[in-house]
Amino acid sequence: MKVLLDLQYLNVATTGIKTYMVELAKAARKYPHPEVHWIFTHEPEEQVKDEKFKQPQSKLQRLNYHMDYFRWKEFQLPDLVKKHGVDVLICPDFVSPAASLTCRRLTVIHDAFFWQIPQNYPAWWRKYFINLIKKGLKEKTHIITTTEYSKNSLLKYLSTEWPITAIYQAPKGLKNAADPQFLKKLELQPSEYFIHIGTFDRRKNIPLLVQAFWGYLQRTQSNKKLVLAGGPGQSKQMNDFPSVLKLVEKLGLQGKVLVTGYLKDAEVKALYEKAFAYVFPSENEGFGIPILESMGFGVPVIHSNQPALLEVAGEAGLPFQTGSLEDLTQKLILLDQDEKLRKNLIQKGKERSEDFSAKKFIDGFYQLILNPKTAEK
């Protein structure tokens, strides 16, 4: 059984989708199956290093990227399918070729954000991308998504002609040593800071976190800090980065809220290893990788009660009412003052993180690859 894994999108992918693609490729190699011959379109590590289209600075650069992506999906990828005599094509970036193919397709649609929150995307781009997604849903296609919440969300917007299966992904494997100087560079003390890692997309609700942290400081006189790691949102409509910087200044939180930008894996690992807690205030998620990363490092998690985050965290997180400033502030205070609760969350979190292994991740794919009837409606 020849399986072609499309890794082209790694040249621009960030955060969640990047992690998904890299960890899927790693799991395929770490846990080979005697009946499956994997073919990668690109070497993951090399494709991640390709800087040609990362963070385009002009409309021309963005146009060139979209043309390159279209050429890949509609001409080059179908050619590879024919060249290798592929039985199954896996596209982990929402889009499968519109061209007719002789093989089965496993297309990963991570969430329903394009339909649920249209205001976060440029209208023309959203229309174009949704059209690409739908044109690629043809022939023997099976949609894969990240959680039961995402599955149920997609069922509202896509034809029921295509079966959808939720496969839980594995978190990022931060195997290399942490940067021993990073906390010192930021003037952070162990267990004296909260963290949030991810892009400043509007749906992440980071301004709410900053306001809640300010309220927490006012009520507790704590010396803890808040570290916000990650880059700007992916479009002007989605980007809350400028708003967060203005809010930090308005509330006088300079030196208490640290905005670091994108970090290297060694720096991210250093943050996780010594953090007091991770805070995830997002209004909408398809999965929530940082929850599992945090729990794996023994870091308790405060998260919104958004369905996907509740599903991933199980009962191992401390939820608050999505969008509620007062409830989030109260949860920050509660975790700071209740050491027994914190230790309990740490223990439950470690146990929960073990449910999301690379082996289980790839086994979910093997189930669909090797059992074609599973993919039939």
Q: Give the CATH number of domain 2-170+357-375; options: 3.40.50.920, 3.40.50.2000, 3.30.465.10, 1.20.190.20.
A: 3.40.50.2000
Give 132-176 pLDDT, tens digit per residue. 999 999 989 999 999 999 999 999 999 788 999 999 999 987 878
Give the SS3 label for residue 210: helix
pLDDT confidence of residue 236 = 72
pLDDT confidence of residue 376 = 47
pLDDT confidence of residue 176 = 82
Give 335-377 pLDDT, tens digit per residue. 999 999 999 999 999 999 999 999 999 999 999 999 877 544 4
Give 177-212 pLDDT, tens digit per residue. 899 999 999 999 999 999 999 989 999 999 999 999
pLDDT confidence of residue 101 = 96
pLDDT confidence of residue 57 = 64
Main-chain dihedrals φ then ψ at residue 50, nearest 5 degrees: -65, 115
- Whether pLDDT at 233 is above 80: no
- The structural architecture, per CATH, of the domain 182-353 is 3-Layer(aba) Sandwich (3.40)
* Chain center to CA of 300: 19
For 9-22, b/e burial (b = at least 16 CB within 10 A) is: bbbbbebbbbbbbb
Examine domains 2-170+357-375 and 182-353 and report if their fold is the same.
Answer: yes
pLDDT confidence of residue 214 = 98
Q: CA–CA separation, 315 vs 182, rounded Å?
A: 32
DSSP 53-94: TSS--SHHHHHHHHHHHHHIIIIIHHHHHHHHT-SEEEE-SS
pLDDT confidence of residue 374 = 58
The percent of residues in the chain predicted with pLDDT above 90, rounded, is 82
The percent of residues in the chain predicted with pLDDT above 70, rounded, is 97
Band (pLDDT 50/70/90 cuts) for residue 100 is very high
Helices marked H in the chain? 15-30, 44-49, 59-71, 77-84, 113-116, 123-135, 148-155, 182-185, 206-220, 241-250, 265-274, 289-296, 307-313, 325-337, 339-353, 358-370
**For the ranges 34-38, 126-130, 268-272, which has the lowest average pLDDT?**
126-130
DSSP 318: E
- Whether pLDDT at 2 is above 70: yes
> Domain-by-domain residue ranges, the chain?
2-170+357-375, 182-353
Q: How many CB atoms lie within 10 A of CB 375?
A: 20
pLDDT confidence of residue 58 = 75
Give 42-80 pLDDT, tens digit per residue. 999 999 988 777 766 677 887 888 899 999 999 999 999
